[in-house]
Amino acid sequence: MPELPELEVVREVLKRRVVGQTVTAVEVVPPGGLIVVRDLTREGFEAGLTGATLTDVARRGKFLILTFDPTLYLVINPKLTGRLQLATPSERQRANTCVRLTLSGGEELRYVDQKTMGQLYLTREPADRAPIPDFAGLGPDALAVSRDEFRARLKPFRGEIKGVLIRGDFVAGIGNAYADEILWTARIHPYRKRTSLTSDELDRLYDAVRSTLLDATAKVRAQMGEAIHREPRDFMNVHLKTGQPCPRCGAPISMVGANQRITNFCRVCQPGGLIKGM
């Protein structure tokens, strides 16, 4: 699932490469395109975007917001497998391509989604006022929240700390993968209750959120380059590294599967749980 680091780099590339260009043609590719497209304007997805000029690309948590002139917004929630791709018209279409936007500069912006779980919302209203699920309730961006606000926003939550980190109404932009990395950096067991964390651990957690996401963004930027459909994650320390040696202590990385989510952590560096796993 693309999270803050990947989507921030995608935003940078699109802002640099395609802002100022006009959409000259739109194709909703069946069957996937018919599943992921949500036309909130009720004026026609293809008709609305054709002739519109892209003026800005923004990110809000794990959403991308493309702003067009005349006033139009394409809000993209890629969820588990959604990816954007910049391609030439002659480039072979990837499997599970759902939408193709032909741009006046000669390239196509394509949305590809293997499991068709993401959504593309077309709206005349700004994203925070449109009826887009999970958007209006988003907390502040994970890299924009202050230490004091971070602590204050944690207080209402009493559950397991990993489950809190990935809640968009707590802070926006952290998903399953980077929650594992953040907690490893902070040396906190993912199944510790929020209420059990000490003041020092809360400070370590806040510092780990910032350092992990900033470091990952720099690494994604270097490895992804202009190929925005890629999701480089070989640099991760524990996520999807089950059985491999912990980079810090050498103990094998553990894995627990719960609620259809894989959690990886180091039992030596992150003590405090009595969870059975690999």
Do residue 251 and residue 163 come from a single domain?
yes
Strands 72-77 and 63-69, bridge-based pairing:
antiparallel
Do residue 72 and residue 12 come from a single domain?
yes
Do residue 119 and residue 154 come from a single domain?
no
Q: Is 27 among the residues known to form the active site? A: no
Residue 129 belongs to a domain: no
Strands 119-123 and 72-77, bridge-based pairing:
antiparallel
Q: Reply yes or no on whether the pLDDT at 278 is more than 90.
A: no
Do residue 168 and residue 240 come from a single domain?
yes
In this structure, are residues 120 and 190 in contact, taking their beta carbons and an 8 Å threshold?
no
What does the alpha-carbon distance between residue 34 and residue 113 come to, in Å, rounded to a whole number? 12
Per-residue b/e over 228-246, b at no fewer than 16 CB within 10 Å? beebbbeebbbbebbeeeb
Question: What range does the domain containing 9 cover?
Answer: 4-123
User: Considering 79, 124, 153, 261, which one is annotated as catalytic?
Assistant: 261
Do residue 105 and residue 18 come from a single domain?
yes
Residue 222 CB partners (closer than 8 Å, separation 6+): none
For the stretch 185-228, pLDDT in tens is: 999 999 999 999 999 999 999 999 999 999 999 999 999 999 99
Model confidence band, residue 178 (pLDDT cutoffs 50, 70, 90): very high
Do residue 152 and residue 243 come from a single domain?
yes
Element (H, E) at 36: helix 32-36
Q: Is 6 helix (H, G, I), strand (E, B) or coil?
A: helix
Residue 90 belongs to a domain: yes
Give the residues across from 252 on adjacent strands.
245
Do residue 18 and residue 81 come from a single domain?
yes
User: Considering 11, 62, 187, 233, which one is annotated as catalytic?
Assistant: 62
What does the alpha-carbon distance between residue 191 and residue 272 come to, in Å, rounded to a whole number? 8
Whole-prediction pTM value? 0.94
Model confidence band, residue 276 (pLDDT cutoffs 50, 70, 90): very low
Residue 105 belongs to a domain: yes
Q: Is 62 among the residues known to form the active site? A: yes
Q: Is 2 among the residues known to form the active site? A: yes
For the stretch 52-68, pLDDT in tens is: 999 999 999 999 999 99
Residue 49 CB partners (closer than 8 Å, separation 6+): 23, 26, 68, 72, 74, 101, 122
What does the alpha-carbon distance between residue 175 and residue 217 come to, in Å, rounded to a whole number? 14
Cα of first residue to Cα of last residue in the chain, in angstroms, is 23
For the stretch 104-132, pLDDT in tens is: 999 999 999 999 999 999 999 999 999 99
What does the alpha-carbon distance between residue 218 and residue 232 come to, in Å, rounded to a whole number? 11
Instruction: Record the tokens describing residue 233, joined without a space.
Output: 């994650």
Do residue 108 and residue 187 come from a single domain?
no
Strands 37-39 and 63-69, bridge-based pairing:
unpaired
Q: Which of 2, 1, 4 is nearest to 218 (CA)?
A: 4
Looking from the CA of 276 toward its CB, the CA atoms found within 13 Å total 0
In this structure, are residues 73 and 89 in contact, taking their beta carbons and an 8 Å threshold?
no
User: Considering 3, 107, 108, 231, which one is annotated as catalytic?
Assistant: 3
Residue 130 belongs to a domain: no
Domain count, the chain: 2
